[in-house]
Structure 1
Amino acid sequence: MTTSTVHDRIVEACVLFLIVFTPFAFGTVEPWSEAVAEIVILGMVVTWLIGNLRNWELRFELPAGWLPAALFLALLAFQAV
């Protein structure tokens, strides 16, 4: 089991915020609602990069089911054309 760092907890909190906030915000047609989600996502990426580069370790791990998910998304993109 790995220990959770402050950076990991911040990213997890941002994910939970986005899961709750974006369905409500995208119901509106105002640009601020999309801007809030985009700014939070940018903050998550920056926090993740700072946390990994601070340890001189930039590792990207794919989850176990990434191949079926990628193939499904490719099928959706193909059908949209």
Structure 2
Amino acid sequence: MDHDLLTPAQAAQCKGVSRTAIYSAIAEGRLKHNRILGRLAIKREHLLAWSPMRYAGRPKGKPMTDEAKARLSESQKRRWSQHKR
């Protein structure tokens, strides 16, 4: 492909996200793309303008605080207690 056009895999590597995130952004219309000979191509300028969605939450491996546990619903508490057994 042209040096200004990237495959979804190259775009994912460039942004440090998964290919699934790239395909999801394309499907939702948040990332512009072209089809060249039936293949997806993403312009470098569109990729640089796009910012992936961030998900707020507890980092993996960090224990849950007592304050956060208090905010859980009853069903979540049941699942949490079964998970800890």
Question: What TM-score comes out, normalization by structure 2 length?
Answer: 0.21
Q: Which has the larger radius of gyration?
A: 2
* Structure 1 or 2: more helix by fraction: 1
Q: Which has the higher contact order (CA 8 A, sep 6+)?
A: 1
- Length-normalised TM-score, structure 1: 0.21
User: Where is the strand percentage greater, Structure 1 or Structure 2?
Assistant: 2
